Amino acid sequence: MAVADIVAGLLIGAVLGVINAWVLRSGVRFAVKCSQRAKATLVIIASYAIRYILIAAAIYVILKKGNLTMAITTLGVLALFTIFWALIQRRRCSAEERGS
């Protein structure tokens, strides 16, 4: 059962990671189009709130089932996904700076 929990945690973490990246990128795109700073700031805050609510809900449901292994695996995958995404963005930004 532990292997199935780990695999499920990996899948849930990967799906949450993709959804979180999509929500944040969409929020930033929408904020850039906003004409007022206050509205843009609220859009960014809302996108972060949506991300953390999704994570909290997923972990809550997993822990409600009593599955600590799956919850820890999910959080670990989310952490790795966040670090990996930041490294990709840093490389992309530095490559754009060198090109100009």
**1-20 pLDDT per residue, tens:** 789 889 999 999 999 998 98
**40-70 pLDDT per residue, tens:** 999 999 999 999 999 999 999 999 998 999 9
79-94 as b/e: b if 16+ CB within 10 A:
eebeeebeeeeeeeee
pLDDT band at 94 (very low <50, low <70, confident <90, very high): low
Task: Please provide residue 65's backbone torsions phi and psi, each rounded to the nearest 5 degrees.
Answer: -75, -10
Distance, CA of 48 to CA of 81 (rounded, Å): 16
pLDDT of residue 54: 93
Distance, CA of 43 to CA of 10 (rounded, Å): 30
pLDDT band at 86 (very low <50, low <70, confident <90, very high): confident
Distance, CA of 66 to CA of 80 (rounded, Å): 24
